[in-house]
Chain A
Amino acid sequence: MLRRSLVIAGVASCVVIALLAVGIPAPAAPLPDSVTCAATLSKVDSFAPVGTKVRIADELRRGSFAPACRSANSLIEADDLLYSRSLVKGEYSYSLWATDSRFHISAASADDAAVLQKALGDRAVVTAGAMGRAGRNDDGEPHFGGSGIQQNAGSTSTNTCTSGFTVRRNADGGRGAMTAGHCYGNGIYAYSGPQYYGYTWGKFNYPAYDIIGVRSGSETYDNVIHVDPCCPNNRYVVGYDVADVGDLACLSGMVTKAVCGVQVTSTNGYFCDQDGCTGGLIEGIKPNTVIVRPGDSGAPIYTRYGANSALAMGMVIASAGGGTIVYGEHISVIEAYLNVTVLTS
């Protein structure tokens, strides 16, 4: 069954010190869990047009959500400036955070960061440092799901697991992603090859739940997953598709890459090993085809929606039958377990 939702983060009152960091950003220390702003969320019962993005300014103009601690017009103006690239011509990425009603911006150069900060004032939190979108195994900002990741910095060939869908924490609006719980412990710094991706959090009750979160206060994340090798190489995540037996799903692990035509054969499977058992899993099979390999854990399970979009279904955790059978956690279980919402806009 299709559950369609477009979630726009709203804003509330806040007190946050604007930051201007210069130089290569070191892995940020974990953010305190205390929430400085209560998030106001508003669900819009429609999709963005397939293959397109939803502009923050457009949603503000439409009244989809109402910021509480500063005027909508001030944020619309900021979004228009950022979107039009009229302030600087260098690379940057940005998103509006519900926690502090500010645009969090990562700029490629210190000069650009200074210009952006001056122009946007307290509406923005700007960090500067090396950035830039690269491939699945050296995923830069804004980070995508389906990226190869590893503990500590390495090369594109030393990643050990795959990131799942990107998410927003319901408690504080912070952004991040997810991966399989057996990949890492809490509090490690995850990199996509040489690029910092975030630190891990939220793993408990493993192996009943094979899930861990990845987050960062300084990195940016987008509602996109890598789906190379082909056509397209990325897809926007715009909603959910709850797994039903008979569905044809796709996986996108960093080793096997995107594979479609995986038929859901069960929504209540088990995987067990020396760690114990993980139950309540999606099981999928593509006969006579290896669809999962070591390193694919954490990969998004999704269905295609239109030419450029995807619907979130789950996350790969294990394989059987020599890689011809995949097991994955349901996206609803992951959202409830980590108290997060998949980024769909």
Chain B
Amino acid sequence: MRKLLAFAAVLPAVLLLSACAQRPGTAAPKSPTPSAQPRTVVPQVAALTAGEVDKVLAKASLVAILRYEPGVVTNAGTVVATEPPAGTMVWPGDIVTVIVAGAPGATLGEYVVAHRETYIGMAPDANGVLVIGIYRQADMQSELGQLTRLAAGKAFRVQNCAHSWAELQRVQLELSRRDFVPGADKLPFGMTIDPMACAVRLTIELTDAEVASLNARWPGALVIQRGAASRT
């Protein structure tokens, strides 16, 4: 199957975009202001699976970067330690390296998730082609061979992103404080890191002025999609 490589911005047509994620020269999202937030403690996540760690560290307002250790064969797939270790006082938005026993899974998706320092993520476009967001500072040439091997003939394209996964996760952590506009603590919304937009995709009902305010605060790192949300 033909593999597609594209480095231009690709934005999903279904989104009502209010910011261009590929705007050149955009500033990196700021880390949460240390002085505005109390320090937090690295939680104990040993023995959890890599999939469970995101939830725990997100609750502590920390950014989880995974590091697999193939040499550790006991309890493969579970966390054996963190850097810094559990109990350490850190600032909200700090990176915690989560050391996982064993090797990551052999699929393309598992490889991308296991290498957040390099990849923003992976998502299918409207045609079913996988779009892989790669941080622009990554070594593209060395990664392409690995991606091609793991794709095993499946169509994919690579998108060069201005922000790293950690930077975008910090945006999500700040948004999850629910103080980004007056009354945000009452607003229902959903969000995730969208590798097609190289940005956080926020689904919410906001006024035009509020949208403008958020775009100014996180230029190039936020795509806002209007739409009602609720726990069902």
Contact = CB atoms under 8 A, between A and B. Distances in A.
B227 A320 contact: yes
A245 to B, nearest CB: 5
B8 to A, nearest CB: 21
A273 interface: yes
B55 A324 contact: no
Give the size category of A's interface with B: 35 or more
Contacts of B107: 1, 244
Interface string A306-329: 000000000011111111110100
6 contacts: A210-B231, A244-B109, A270-B176, A279-B55, A297-B231, A317-B232
Nearest to B196: A265
Contacts of A273: 186-189, 229-231
Interface residues of B, number: 43
A332 B52 CA distance: 8
A257 to B, nearest CB: 14
Given A244-B110, A321-B227, A270 B232 contact: no
Interface of A: 1, 180, 182, 208-210, 242, 244-246, 253, 263, 265-277, 279-280, 283, 287-288, 292-297, 316-325, 327, 330, 332-333, 336
Interface in B121-158: 121-124, 126, 130
A321 B172 CA distance: 18
B228 A320 contact: yes
A189 to B, nearest CB: 22
Given A272-B191, A283-B192, A330-B52, 12 more contacts: A246-B130, A268-B54, A269-B190, A270-B172, A271-B188, A273-B189, A280-B54, A320-B188, A320-B190, A320-B227, A325-B203, A332-B49
B105 A1 contact: yes
Contacts of B175: 270, 272
Nearest to A270: B191
Contacts of A294: 230, 232
Contacts of B178: 272, 276-277
A244 B54 CA distance: 15
B176 A317 contact: no
B9 to A, nearest CB: 18
A269 B191 contact: yes
Contacts of A336: 48-49, 52
A277 B54 CA distance: 13
Residue among B51, B192, B231 having the largest count of chain A Cβ atoms under 10 Å:
B231
A292 B52 CA distance: 25
B210 interface: no
B59 interface: yes
